[in-house]
Structure 1
Amino acid sequence: MTMPTPTPDRVLLTGISGFLGGHVALGLLETGYIVRGSVRKLAKAEAVRDTLARAGADVSRLEFVELDLLSDTGWDAAMDGVRYLQHTASPFVIDLPEDKMELIRPAVEGTERALNAALKAGVERIVLTSSMAAIAYGHEKSRTRPFTEADWTNLNGRGVNAYIESKTLAERRAWEIMRDAKREADLTAINPSAILGPLLDEDPGTSALMVKRLLDGSVPALPRVPFVIVDVRDIAEAHVKAMTTPDAGGRRFPMGERSMLMGEIAQIVRKAAPSRKVPRLPMPDWAVRLYALFDRDVRGILNELGVLKALDSRSAVALLGRPLIAADDSITATTHALIENRIV
């Protein structure tokens, strides 16, 4: 007697059209899940399907629903038959808005809608894409020890901008919702730093814009802006494994492979694309401070100039069962992808 093949588990993935969301979808499909991806407009669905198909995914197990972080419409229906929630959708901008609530409101309210609908539907495990921004800011600049899952950004500290506040408030709200439901053990937060790595389509995402600017000449000199780099492939795999790894529940996973200044990143980009005119000249701090008098976004990074932060990623390494991909490889992959996709 032939036993029926069990139906694969269904995962609701918010933000599937994003850089990270696409890689998470790819990992879920490769693992055998049915993926129900949310987009703000269903018109985006075919482009996402084509992108994942080109990457080698079996898109026969791919579904789409239309959801908005600022609307109650559709959330209950989207959770029908869903076993796991991957909530990667959140606003991320380069130019900070004048009204910080343009970032904070969709981040927090979107988290509330996603988690409350998941709890109502009895979803077993929720994986939330948070950020290093919820861990490592508003602290003393003199701190040298790595930031861990026990650390939280101090929203009353210096240099906390609207994006940092939005990520911190959204993650804190997620834990609050799960505590109130007595289901803290069913939430996992992934807290990545700046995400680089191969692109799935012509959309460079947000973090890759930093590499794009080094390649296209829009950055004439190199300020001492610090970055902690992590690869999108590691972050996506961590999301997938966190769904079913028992001791991942109730925990946060900081993820960053290496801390470096923009000048160091430029050296790697230059090596990966030797025919491109990547800037070499350092920009002194005084020049950055002068420029900040006329640019609100630059003012937001002044407190971080030259401050190299480190994340304790040992828990993420244990979750993956291997070391993180080297930051040099992530930067190189981003550089090659930007050129191959003719984005620069």
Structure 2
Amino acid sequence: MTDRVLLTGISGFLGGHLALQLLNAGYIVRGSVRNLSRADKVRATLSKAGAEVDRLEFVALDLESDVGWQDAMDGVRYLQHTASPFVLQMPDDKDDLIRPAVQGTERALNAALAAKVERIVLTSSMAAIAYGHDRTRSAPFTANDWTNLEGRGVNPYTESKTRAERRAWEIMREAGREKDMAAINPSGIFGPLLDEDPGTSVTLVQRLLNGSVPAAPRIPLAVVDVRDVAEAHLAAMVSNEAGGHRFPMAHSTMYFKDVAEILREAFPAYAKKIPKLELPDWVVRVYALFDKDVRSNLGELGVLKRLDASAAMRLLDRKLTPADASFVATGESLIREGLI
């Protein structure tokens, strides 16, 4: 009998790539969407990417509603919980991010535990590891680090991911099943799109290519490839050694100017639109008065964060995809999908 995996957030960037890898590995994938009207689009996208979609099922689940969660676990051996709000522009009310992130995690894990699901893989983030610390820290952040919610530069998104992951481990400890969950903590996720939806992180590359960023802010960007993150989720699901552990994931950290140079070399037809200059910090702060996306991320200005991804590389038994290859794949897919 083929094992069934419940994958929340299947219509997202990471969710789509994870579904593709699960289907290609022979699993039955039960993907959750907020509205079943999206199912046909997801099915078509995965079919176009080469997946055998006859083993693809759909359920309607909402992170803020109890409806359907227990039924969704019927016959499920593994839970992959990737669904969580992700934005670049912070909301006026931070609970608009924190509430669904935490409550969705509670609903997913409690339903999985009640159904005696064998292994849970949680998509967390470096946001739950590397924020609110001393800005001068140079040592890489590890799985032992947690974001300090009382520290400087913590925004609603980082708080939502931190509170959601902490709550997940608390639930597993209370159930005596801490070893039956693994958390994947990726940095900014880039790589090839599967459809015409650029999502959130890929929008950064889109803006560099389409000329909407006149000069590069001195904001560092830790980078990991979506295909690596999806593969780590799959590996953590079946590896006995992965249970009870967190897996930070980033290939490298670079500034926007470095990303722009990679894109300029790879896509000469767009070179004139890609910024060449790096903005002084004081100019970024002034610019942020008129650009809410930048304003929401001012806390990252000049703060270089690195992750220790050694555990993830051991899990995958290989090195991570180089950042420049991820950015080129991102750009190629944006152009292919007519998004530039």
CA shift for structure 1 position 295: 5.1
Residue 257 of structure 1 corresponds to which residue in structure 2? 251
Residue 114 of structure 2 corresponds to which residue in structure 1? 120
Extract unaligned runs of 5+ from structure 1: 1-6
Residue 88 of structure 2 corresponds to which residue in structure 1? 94
CA shift for structure 1 position 290: 1.9
Q: What are the equivalent positions in structure 2 for 1:181-192 lying under 5 Å apart?
A: 181-192=175-186
Q: State the superposition RMSD in angstroms.
A: 0.9
Residue 205 of structure 1 corresponds to which residue in structure 2? 199
CA shift for structure 1 position 302: 2.6
The two structures have a TM-score, normalised by structure 1, of 0.97
1:9-29 CA-partner distances (Å, limit 9, x unpaired): 000000000000000000101
Extract unaligned runs of 5+ from structure 2: none
Residue 265 of structure 2 is aligned to residue 271 of structure 1 = yes
Q: Give distance in 2, aligned partners of 1:227 and 1:211.
A: 11
Q: What are the equivalent positions in structure 2 for 1:312-323 lying under 5 Å apart?
A: 312-323=308-319
Q: Residue 166 of structure 1: which of 144, 148, 160 is its match?
A: 160
Q: Residue 237 of structure 2: which of 239, 243, 254 is its match?
A: 243
Q: Give distance in 2, aligned partners of 1:32 and 1:208.
A: 29
The one-letter code matched in structure 1 to 2:232 is A
Q: Give distance in 1, aligned partners of 2:125 and 2:163.
A: 11
Change (3 A) 1:122 1:321: same
Residue 287 of structure 2 corresponds to which residue in structure 1? 291
The one-letter code matched in structure 2 to 1:161 is N
The two structures have a TM-score, normalised by structure 2, of 0.98
Q: Residue 194 of structure 1: which of 188, 192, 200 is its match?
A: 188
Q: Secondary structure of the equivalent of 2:268?
A: coil
The one-letter code matched in structure 2 to 1:198 is P
Contact 1:272 / 1:336 at 8 angstroms: preserved in 2? Answer: no
Q: Give distance in 1, aligned partners of 2:314 and 2:285.
A: 41
Residue 7 of structure 2 is aligned to residue 13 of structure 1 = yes
Aligned residues: 338
Residue 332 of structure 1 corresponds to which residue in structure 2? 328
Contact 1:14 / 1:39 at 8 angstroms: preserved in 2? Answer: yes
Residue 136 of structure 1 corresponds to which residue in structure 2? 130
1:101-143 CA-partner distances (Å, limit 9, x unpaired): 0000000000000000000000000000000000000000110
Q: Residue 282 of structure 1: which of 278, 281, 293 is its match?
A: 278
Q: What are the equivalent positions in structure 2 for 1:59-74 lying under 5 Å apart?
A: 59-74=53-68
Identity %: 67
Residue 300 of structure 2 is aligned to residue 304 of structure 1 = yes
Residue 20 of structure 2 is aligned to residue 26 of structure 1 = yes
CA shift for structure 1 position 169: 0.3
Q: Secondary structure of the equivalent of 1:275?
A: helix
Q: Give distance in 1, aligned partners of 2:201 and 2:260.
A: 14
Contact 1:11 / 1:86 at 8 angstroms: preserved in 2? Answer: yes
1:19-49 CA-partner distances (Å, limit 9, x unpaired): 0000000010111100000000000000000
